[in-house]
Amino acid sequence: MNVAEKDPAVEGLLKDEHRRCLEVLAALREKVGHLPKGALNVREKPVGGKSYRYHYLVFREGGRVVNRHIPKSDLPALRVQLRERDQCRKEIATYRRRIAYLERLLRARQRRKVPRAPGG
């Protein structure tokens, strides 16, 4: 392990991987920004002896809770988008952990490179 710790190629690989992870994280955040936010809910209303179901999207906007009705025709596409958003959020969490790990490795490598003071 001591040989690998002193190898500048390893440090270059770590820096490249760190930069790549930051780029992927930025792209994922951009993608999530374009996907709908909120949760899909179903409500039932009894009217005239019948029970009607409708879907709505619940999300926060400026501190307020907003309920937006979703037409039945838009429901399949919205479900796909919400699933995609959740998948992107999981990937974002994974990349955040990976970036934190790489930053710890790079900081440790930089601390080892600091020359000691003469006589000390």
Per-residue pLDDT of the chain in tens (120 residues, 90 and over written 9): 454 556 788 888 999 999 999 999 999 999 999 999 999 999 998 888 899 898 999 999 999 999 999 999 999 999 999 999 999 999 999 999 999 999 998 888 777 665 655 555
Residue with tokens 């990349």: 95
Structure tokens at 45: 């209303």
Contacts of 103 (CB under 8 A, 6+ apart): 18
- Model pTM? 0.75
What is the C-alpha to C-alpha distance for residues 84 and 82, in angstroms, rounded to an integer?
A: 5
What is the C-alpha to C-alpha distance for residues 23 and 27, in angstroms, rounded to an integer?
A: 6
